[in-house]
Structure 1
Amino acid sequence: MRYNPYMPSLAAVAAMVAAIPAIAAQPDKQILKAATDARSAQIALLKDIVNIDSGSGDAQGSARVMARLVPELKAIGATIETIPAEAPGLGDNVVARLTGKGRGRILIIGHIDTVFPAGTVAERPFRMDEKRAYGPGVSDEKGGVVQALTALKLLHDLKETNYASITFLIETSEETGSPGTRKLIDRLVHEADVELNVEPGDAPDAITVWRKGSATIKLTVHGRAAHAGVAPQDGRNAAAELIHQIGTLDRFPKSGDGLTANLTTLRAGNRVNVIPDLATADINVRVRTADQFAGILAAFEASARQTMIPDTKVDVSTTPSFPPLPNNPATDRLAAQAKAIYADLGLTLGMAGNGGASESALAAAAGTPALDGLGPVGGGFHSVDEYLDLPSLTPRLYLFTKLLIQLGAAPPTK
């Protein structure tokens, strides 16, 4: 080709192309209409299950919630398996399965247990204002469970079956580290191509691409009882020694994106006139990497060997909960896919992380790509101020439904 001085260079062509306004992606109108039309029923179901106390360990409350959800799942053709908890005193878990004609094997995990005791609903039942819904567990995680169920209804109504299987695990002990489902989760994540978790999205509108791991360090101090007035010198005050041991916490951050350690429970004595011979404390530890926990545990163990009050003994024990969900390429790819779907609506999906542990860490540790924080946006978790952001309901339902369709047709490579 002969040189033409009027022909723009390749660089100039590239610049002109970049300057052309991008044609905005359009949402799938059928899915969007279905998600919009489902709003009233979605809120009604959420109200019903929020108004049932179902704190971790409340087996009867969990059964009542399941009794409301299971008929909805059966109505769309799901097979239901009720699986007893793997630890005593916990509610039964439910595994709902849909079988399709496509490739992807999708696992959805949600939990219906809350951190609130029986009687909370009577004090502050479900309510709404123009922008938010409130109530115990409304976001963490009953809003997500209802969203997942509603998305499965949309697939059914739209006659979408281009997936090999969708398995929906509804569990009852996530808030205490899922002691009632560990073996079940391990089996299900190995059977799946991808795991989607309906924990709430972070405000203003983000999904979760990393989470801290969690564990509890328990300090138990053994002392000697004595009459607090007649012969206090004969006692060995377990509570006083425990206060000394808790001072180790001063060496570690209480908040932030890295390791944190916080005192959560404290117990000592049962009589006002007796020197306490037993005292306990729980230290909640959150870590970004698994090796961080060893360092903080070693610090408490070293302190336990150096008691302030003679003849007291300090035991240090641990209860693991969830490993960390680290930043990883598999999650990043799923997050990019979700972000692109959200952009169809003209919305920007943020990427965030937090100190709340979840089952997605177990999926990722097993080598199954996992994406978390896919439920409606919320905040105030584990407090009287817990809320669900109502404007996020339809966009998040659209996102979740379309993500199921895409992953069913083309699952990620494990």
Structure 2
Amino acid sequence: MKHYIGTRHQQFLTDFQTIVNIDSSSDNKDGIKKIARFFEKRFSNIGLDTKILFLGKDKVPCLYAEHRPEKKPPKKKFDVMFLGHMDTVFPTGEVEKRPFSIKGNKAFGPGVCDMKGGLLVVLHVLETLKHEGILDSLSVCVAFNGDEETGSNASKDWIMSTAEKSLRTFVFEPCRPGYRFVLQRKGGGWFHVIVKGQEAHAGADPEKGINAVVELAHQIVEINKLNQNDMETSAQVTVITGGDKVNIIPNRAEASVDVRILKLEEKERVETFFKTIQDRSCLKGSKIIVQGRINRPPMEPGDGTRKLWELIRSTGQEIGLLMEAISTGGCSDGNYTSATGTPTIDGMGIVGANAHRADEYAELDSIDNMVLLVSQVCKAIGEKN
């Protein structure tokens, strides 16, 4: 198996260049469809039942593929769910500015580690399992969505229902440098606070106004107090707007708040805080409107996840990889699969860092290692069937 994977390293790089050089920002449906068609063809070639779905009112392109062994009775659940996203945060035109490139041991380009490299790990694992005659011992499904970077609003229910049909989920976000995998993630969401006041002349009639910026400032101080919590909840005011001209009392001010929670029980406390903020205005006559919610539950490792991690860790040790499990504040679609109770391991893609930045990179010497690791883990799962 290791030899076969090594012979296909150049094919991986060719595939890498192909899909990284397709702009596929979350709003670029045509680009996402091109990525989906690339995988649709390759998955179909190895016998997976594959189809492109268009989910939600915006018709978000998503790819679904599955394989069930022909010679075995169909199982109620898939042995493994392979989960990834085809969209990136980079706008259309980014590829022209900085196309796929290689410098030393690193590959660069839009979405190279987040997470086009991870999508290719899935493809090359399944092609390896097919070549080695292992695929027919497994029932697997693949779910690649096209809106992860904007919250997976159209694909969330589809992802969760697919996870409920699976015994375990591997999420192919980038593995962290040093082969660190993600077992725990904070949940999160966004809130938008809008304050309406009353405009007035700032010099002649300030007493006739209700300063929305001042009201918002009071509320920001209260929002910041959510951070003082031993549950590791964070609430960060990230964008504020207010006022129009220097001599007019502002009648409107707005703030965006990024919230992260480590424990599910914090969801109710945080959402209650924002729902009742309108009852705690400081300036008479001001009106406060709040939009938003906690839309991703925290990814909390249970016994099943820890058992699955031990299989992955021990398999890695056998092939010479020293690996570590970590917790992170960032969210992924693994938050959704974990919430269904499905054991979930994240960070199964190639090693990389600096996601969402122009210097995002993937480590080339991790390609064969990650394809081999996941293939060996799947082989071990198949042998237990």
Structure 2 length-normalised TM: 0.89
Q: Is the 8 A contact 2:267 2:294 kept in 1?
A: no
Pairwise CA RMSD of aligned residues? 2.7
- Which has the higher mean CA deviation after the structures are superposed, 121-130 or 268-277? 268-277
Give distance in 2, aligned partners of 1:221 and 1:68: 47
C-alpha change, 1:191 and 1:250, in structure 2 (3 Å) is closer
Shift of residue 239, structure 1, vs aligned partner:
3.6
Q: Secondary structure at the match of 2:16?
A: helix
- Which has the higher mean CA deviation after the structures are superposed, 288-297 or 343-352? 288-297
Give distance in 1, aligned partners of 2:169 and 2:120: 17
The amino acid of 1:129's aligned partner reads K
C-alpha change, 1:229 and 1:144, in structure 2 (3 Å) is farther
Shift of residue 238, structure 1, vs aligned partner:
2.9
CA deviation vs aligned residue, 1:67-121 (integer Å, no higher than 9, x gap): 32222222222221222122x3352111012222466532111001122222322
Find 2:62's aligned residue among 93, 101, 104. Answer: 93
C-alpha change, 1:385 and 1:257, in structure 2 (3 Å) is farther
Shift of residue 304, structure 1, vs aligned partner:
4.0
Counterpart of 2:257 in structure 1 is 283
Counterpart of 2:105 in structure 1 is 131
The amino acid of 1:40's aligned partner reads Q
Q: Secondary structure at the match of 1:110?
A: strand
The amino acid of 2:83's aligned partner reads I
Q: Is the 8 A contact 2:126 2:135 kept in 1?
A: no
The amino acid of 1:33's aligned partner reads H
Counterpart of 1:205 in structure 2 is 179
Pairing 1:1-400 to 2, within 5 Å after superposition: 31-86=1-56, 88-89=57-58, 91-100=60-69, 101=71, 105-225=79-199, 234-253=208-227, 258-268=232-242, 276-301=250-275, 303-400=277-374
C-alpha change, 1:94 and 1:304, in structure 2 (3 Å) is same
C-alpha change, 1:241 and 1:61, in structure 2 (3 Å) is farther
Give distance in 2, aligned partners of 1:154 and 1:256: 46
Shift of residue 254, structure 1, vs aligned partner:
9.6
C-alpha change, 1:229 and 1:59, in structure 2 (3 Å) is farther
Give distance in 1, aligned partners of 2:303 and 2:296: 20
Shift of residue 229, structure 1, vs aligned partner:
7.8
Q: Is the 8 A contact 1:265 1:281 kept in 2?
A: yes
- Which has the higher mean CA deviation after the structures are superposed, 61-70 or 345-354? 61-70
Give distance in 1, aligned partners of 2:21 and 2:230: 33
Structure 1 length-normalised TM: 0.83
Q: Secondary structure at the match of 1:154?
A: helix
CA deviation vs aligned residue, 1:308-358 (integer Å, no higher than 9, x gap): 444221122323332111132111111111111111222211111111222
CA deviation vs aligned residue, 1:155-203 (integer Å, no higher than 9, x gap): 1222223434211111011122211112212321121121111111122
Give distance in 2, aligned partners of 1:361 and 1:36: 33
Larger radius of gyration: 1
Give distance in 2, aligned partners of 1:270 and 1:84: 42
Give distance in 2, aligned partners of 1:255 and 1:46: 43
Q: Is the 8 A contact 1:81 1:94 kept in 2?
A: yes
Q: Is the 8 A contact 1:105 1:163 kept in 2?
A: no
Q: Is the 8 A contact 1:254 1:262 kept in 2?
A: no
- Which has the higher mean CA deviation after the structures are superposed, 214-223 or 359-368? 359-368
Q: Secondary structure at the match of 1:314?
A: strand
Shift of residue 289, structure 1, vs aligned partner:
0.4
Give distance in 1, aligned partners of 2:242 and 2:103: 43
The amino acid of 1:213's aligned partner reads G
- Which has the higher mean CA deviation after the structures are superposed, 329-338 or 244-253? 244-253
Q: Is the 8 A contact 2:350 2:362 kept in 1?
A: yes
C-alpha change, 1:62 and 1:305, in structure 2 (3 Å) is same
C-alpha change, 1:391 and 1:234, in structure 2 (3 Å) is farther
Shift of residue 283, structure 1, vs aligned partner:
1.1
5+ residue gaps, structure 2: none
Q: Is it true that 1:406 corresponds to 2:380 in the alignment?
A: yes
Counterpart of 1:17 in structure 2 is none
Give distance in 2, aligned partners of 1:36 and 1:321: 41
C-alpha change, 1:269 and 1:393, in structure 2 (3 Å) is farther
C-alpha change, 1:222 and 1:193, in structure 2 (3 Å) is same
Q: Percent identity?
A: 27
C-alpha change, 1:202 and 1:366, in structure 2 (3 Å) is same
Shift of residue 398, structure 1, vs aligned partner:
0.6
C-alpha change, 1:64 and 1:99, in structure 2 (3 Å) is same
5+ residue gaps, structure 1: 1-30
Shift of residue 230, structure 1, vs aligned partner:
7.7
- Which has the higher mean CA deviation after the structures are superposed, 229-238 or 133-142? 229-238
Q: Secondary structure at the match of 1:77?
A: coil
